[in-house]
C-alpha cells in the first residue's frame, strides 16, 4: 500500500531566513494530520483547525497580540501534547485580548499536561457551540484581566488537574476573572486535582446561566475568592451547579457571597450537604453573606456552616425568593458592617468574545442577621439551625421585614453583642417559631423586638431569655398610624433576668397560652408614651390563658 505524505510549514512566526529554524517546524505526516512546533520560533498567529488532527508538540510557545485568538478549532481535533515531537517539554499559550484555546465546532484535547495558559482580556478555554468540546488534563491557567478560565457556551469542558489562578485587580466597575462558567446549555465537568482561585472584583468561582447550563464537580474543588464582591457560586436563569458534600469556600474579600441564586430553583441535594463558607475578611469593609436568593430564586440546602469575621448574613432572601435550611446548620455572625451582595444586570455571565461582559448591581440590607428575609414574599425556612451572633448595634439572630417571613423549627439563637436582638421584626415582617431557643446575653438589647411595625411574632414551645444587663424580653415599637403589632406565645417562656419582660410604645396585642412570663427586674409590663409621629397612643391588649404564669408589676407611663 502506498502512503501519502505532505509537508506542513507554519505560515507565521518564522524568521525572515533560517532553514534550520524552519526545519524544527516541519513534519512528515500521513495526509490529514499536522503538527505545530516546537519553538523557536514562537507561533504568533492563530492555529486554525478545520478538519483532521493537528498536534501542538512539546516545547512549543504560542503568543498572540491584540485580539488575536491563539487557536480556533471549527472542525477536527487540536491535540496539545507535551510528550509529542522530537523535544518533549512544556507548552505555553499566551494571549492579550483573544481566547487561548477556542473550540467553535471541533474538539481540543490536552492528554499529558505540562500546558501553561496566560490570558488577559480573553478566555483561557472556550467551548462555543453544541459540537464543541475541550478535554484538559494537567493545565495551569493564569488570568490577569477580564477573561474567564473555563467557559462552555453550549459546548462541554472536562477539566482534570486544572489549576486556575486569577490575579486580576480590575476596578470595582468591571467584572473580571471568572473561574468556570456554563452558558446556553453548556456543561463544565470538574474532576480531581482542579482548583479555582480568583482576585478580581465581582468574580464568580462556579457559575451557570441559562436553562440546561451545568457545572458539575465529581471531586472536592477548592474555591478561594480574594476579590471584593465575589461569589463562590452564582446560579442564574435556571443554570445549576452541583458540588460534593463537604466542600469549602474561602471568601477573603468584603461584600462576598458564598452561593447566589438568581431566578433559579435549587433542590435539596444538588449542592452537597456539609458546605462550609468561610467569610474571612477582617478589614471592616462591607459585610458578606453565606447564602443569597434574589429575583424569585430558591435554594434548598442542608448542614451548612457560615462563619468568619466578615459574616454579616447567614441566609438572606429578597422579595419573592426563598432559602430552606435543614439538617444541622451553623451560622456564626461576627461582622459589624451590614451585608452587601451583587445581582447580575446582564443576560449572561460570560460571552464568547474576549471579556466576560457580565455586569453586577449592588444591593444592601440591614441589619446584620443570621437569617434575613426582606421584601414581599421573601421566605426563610430554617430547621435545626444554630445561630450565634457576636455583633452588636441592632444585629439579630433572625430578622423579617418589608413583608418577609422567617419560619423556624428547632432553632437555637444566641446573641452576645450589645444592643442586639434574638428575633427582630421590621415593618410588615413575620417570624414564626416552634420548639426553639432564643437567648440574648448582650447588654441593652431585647430577646424579641418589633421595630416600627406593624410586625408579627408567633412562637410555640419556645424558650425566650434576656440575660444581658438591661435587656428586655419583648420590646414592641409601633410607629404606624393604624396598625397593631401582634405577638402570640403558646407554651414556652419569656423572661428578662434584669429588666422588664414586655415593654411597648404604640399599640400591641400580646397573647399567651400556657406561657411563663417573668420580669426579672420586677416589671412584667411597662408602657411608654408615643413620641414619634404619625403614631397612635400606646395601648396594650394582653390576653393570658391556659395556665399562663405572669410574674411582675405593670407600669403605665403618663
pLDDT digits (tens, 9 = 90+) for 444-464: 999 999 999 899 999 999 999
pLDDT band, residue 16 (cuts 50/70/90): very low
Flag the least confident range among 26-30, 38-42, 332-336.
26-30
Please choose, from the candidates 558, 426, 428, 548, the residue with its C-alpha nearest in 3D space to the C-alpha of residue 495: 548
**439 DSSP β-pair partners:** 414, 465
How is residue 43 annotated by DSSP? B
**511 DSSP β-pair partners:** 488, 543
The predicted model gives 358-381 an average pLDDT of 96
pLDDT at 171: 57
Check whether 142 has a pLDDT greater than 50. yes
Q: 166, 199 in Cβ contact below 8 A?
A: yes
pTM for this one? 0.93
3-state helix, strand, coil in the chain (%, to 5): 0, 50, 45
Number of Cβ within a 10 Å radius of residue 229: 23
Q: Which of 146-150, 172-176, 541-545 has the highest mean pLDDT?
A: 541-545
Check whether 533 has a pLDDT greater than 90. no
The predicted model gives 79-91 an average pLDDT of 97
338 or 171, which is more confident: 338
pLDDT tens digits for range 492-529: 999 999 999 999 999 999 999 999 999 998 899 999 98
pLDDT band, residue 173 (cuts 50/70/90): low
Those residues with Cβ within 8 angstroms of residue 292's Cβ, 6 or more apart along the chain or in another chain: 257, 258, 259, 260, 261, 313, 315, 316, 317, 318, 341
pLDDT band, residue 558 (cuts 50/70/90): confident
Check whether 301 has a pLDDT greater than 90. yes
pLDDT band, residue 55 (cuts 50/70/90): very high
What is the residue whose three cell numbers read 397593631?
484
User: Which cell numbers in the block locate residue 225?
Assistant: 475568592
CA 281/CA 344 separation, integer angstroms: 23
How many residues are recorded in the chain?
Answer: 558
Q: How many H helices and E strands in the chain?
A: 1, 56
User: Which cell numbers in the block locate residue 426?
Assistant: 421590621
Instruction: Indicate the pairing of strand 360-364 with strand 340-344.
Output: antiparallel
pLDDT band, residue 5 (cuts 50/70/90): very low
How is residue 529 annotated by DSSP? -
CA 35/CA 28 separation, integer angstroms: 9
pLDDT band, residue 120 (cuts 50/70/90): confident
pLDDT at 356: 78
Instruction: Indicate the pairing of strand 516-528 with strand 429-434.
Output: unpaired
Q: What is the mean pLDDT of the chain?
A: 92
pLDDT at 539: 93
CA 377/CA 141 separation, integer angstroms: 42
pLDDT at 13: 38
Please choose, from the candidates 343, 206, 202, 339, the residue with its C-alpha nearest in 3D space to the C-alpha of residue 279: 339
How is residue 73 annotated by DSSP? E
pLDDT at 471: 97
Q: 100, 73 in Cβ contact below 8 A?
A: no
Burial 88-125 (b: 16+ CB within 10 A, else e): beebbbbbbbbbbbbbbbbbbbbebbbbebbbbbbbbb
Amino acid at each position: 500500500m502506498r502512503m501519502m505524505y505532505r509537508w506542513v510549514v507554519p505560515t507565521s512566526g518564522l524568521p525572515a531566513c533560517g532553514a534550520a529554524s524552519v526545519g524544527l517546524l516541519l513534519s512528515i505526516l500521513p495526509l490529514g494530520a499536522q503538527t505545530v512546533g516546537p519553538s523557536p520560533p514562537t507561533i504568533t498567529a492563530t492555529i486554525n483547525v478545520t478538519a483532521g488532527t493537528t498536534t501542538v508538540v512539546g516545547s512549543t510557545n504560542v503568543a498572540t497580540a491584540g485580539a488575536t485568538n491563539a487557536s480556533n478549532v471549527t472542525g477536527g481535533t487540536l491535540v496539545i501534547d507535551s510528550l509529542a515531537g522530537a523535544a518533549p517539554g512544556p507548552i505555553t499559550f499566551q494571549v492579550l485580548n483573544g481566547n487561548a484555546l477556542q473550540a467553535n465546532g471541533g474538539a481540543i484535547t490536552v492528554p499529558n499536561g505540562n500546558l501553561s495558559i496566560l490570558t488577559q482580556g480573553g478566555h483561557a478555554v472556550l467551548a462555543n457551540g453544541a459540537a464543541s468540546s475541550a478535554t484538559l488534563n494537567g493545565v495551569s491557567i493564569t488570568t490577569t484581566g477580564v477573561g474567564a478560565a473555563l467557559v462552555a457556551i453550549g459546548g462541554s469542558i472536562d477539566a482534570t488537574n486544572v489549576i486556575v489562578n486569577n490575579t486580576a485587580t480590575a476596578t470595582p466597575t468591571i467584572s473580571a476573572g471568572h473561574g468556570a462558567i456554563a452558558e446556553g446549555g453548556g456543561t463544565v465537568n470538574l474532576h480531581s486535582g482542579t482548583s479555582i482561585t480568583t482576585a478580581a472584583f465581582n468574580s464568580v468561582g462556579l457559575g451557570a446561566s441559562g436553562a440546561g447550563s451545568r457545572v458539575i464537580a465529581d471531586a472536592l474543588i477548592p474555591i478561594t475568592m480574594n476579590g471584593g464582591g465575589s461569589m463562590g457560586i452564582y446560579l442564574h436563569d435556571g443554570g445549576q451547579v452541583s458540588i460534593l458534600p463537604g466542600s469549602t469556600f474561602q471568601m477573603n474579600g468584603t461584600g462576598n457571597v458564598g452561593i447566589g441564586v438568581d431566578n433559579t430553583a435549587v433542590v435539596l441535594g444538588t449542592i452537597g450537604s456539609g458546605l462550609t463558607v468561610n467569610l474571612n475578611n477582617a478589614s471592616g469593609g462591607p459585610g458578606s453573606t453565606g447564602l443569597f436568593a434574589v429575583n424569585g430564586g430558591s435554594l434548598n440546602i442542608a448542614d451548612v456552616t457560615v462563619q468568619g469575621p466578615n459574616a454579616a448574613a447567614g441566609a438572606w432572601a429578597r422579595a419573592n425568593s426563598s432559602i430552606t435550611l435543614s439538617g444541622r446548620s451553623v451560622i456564626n455572625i461576627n461582622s459589624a458592617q451590614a451585608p452587601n451582595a451583587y445581582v447580575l444586570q446582564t443576560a449572561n455571565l460570560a460571552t464568547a468574545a474576549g471579556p466576560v461582559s457580565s455586569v453586577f448591581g449592588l444591593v444592601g440590607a440591614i441589619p446584620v442577621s443570621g437569617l434575613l428575609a426582606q421584601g414581599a414574599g421573601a421566605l426563610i425556612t430554617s430547621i435545626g439551625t444554630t445561630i450565634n451572633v457576636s455583633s452588636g448595634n441592632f444585629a439579630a439572630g433572625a430578622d423579617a421585614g418589608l413583608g418577609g417571613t422567617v419560619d423556624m423549627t428547632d432553632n437555637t439563637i444566641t446573641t452576645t453583642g450589645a444592643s442586639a436582638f434574638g428575633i427582630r421584626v421590621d415593618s410588615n415582617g413575620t417570624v414564626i417559631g416552634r420548639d426553639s431557643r432564643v437567648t440574648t446575653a448582650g447588654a441593652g438589647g431585647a430577646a424579641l423586638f418589633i421595630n416600627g411595625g406593624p410586625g408579627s411574632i408567633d412562637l410555640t414551645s419556645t424558650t425566650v431569655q434576656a440575660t444581658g444587663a438591661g435587656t428586655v424580653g419583648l420590646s414592641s415599637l409601633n410607629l404606624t398610624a393604624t396598625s397593631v403589632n401582634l405577638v402570640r406565645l403558646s407554651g414556652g417562656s419569656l423572661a428578662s433576668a434584669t429588666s422588664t419582660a414586655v415593654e411597648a410604645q404604640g399599640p400591641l396585642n400580646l397573647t399567651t397560652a400556657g406561657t411563663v412570663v417573668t420580669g426579672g427586674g420586677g416589671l412584667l409590663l411597662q408602657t411608654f408614651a408615643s413620641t414619634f409621629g404619625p403614631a397612635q397612643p400606646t395601648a396594650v391588649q394582653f390576653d393570658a390563658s391556659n395556665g399562663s404564669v405572669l410574674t411582675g408589676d405593670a407600669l403605665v407611663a403618663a
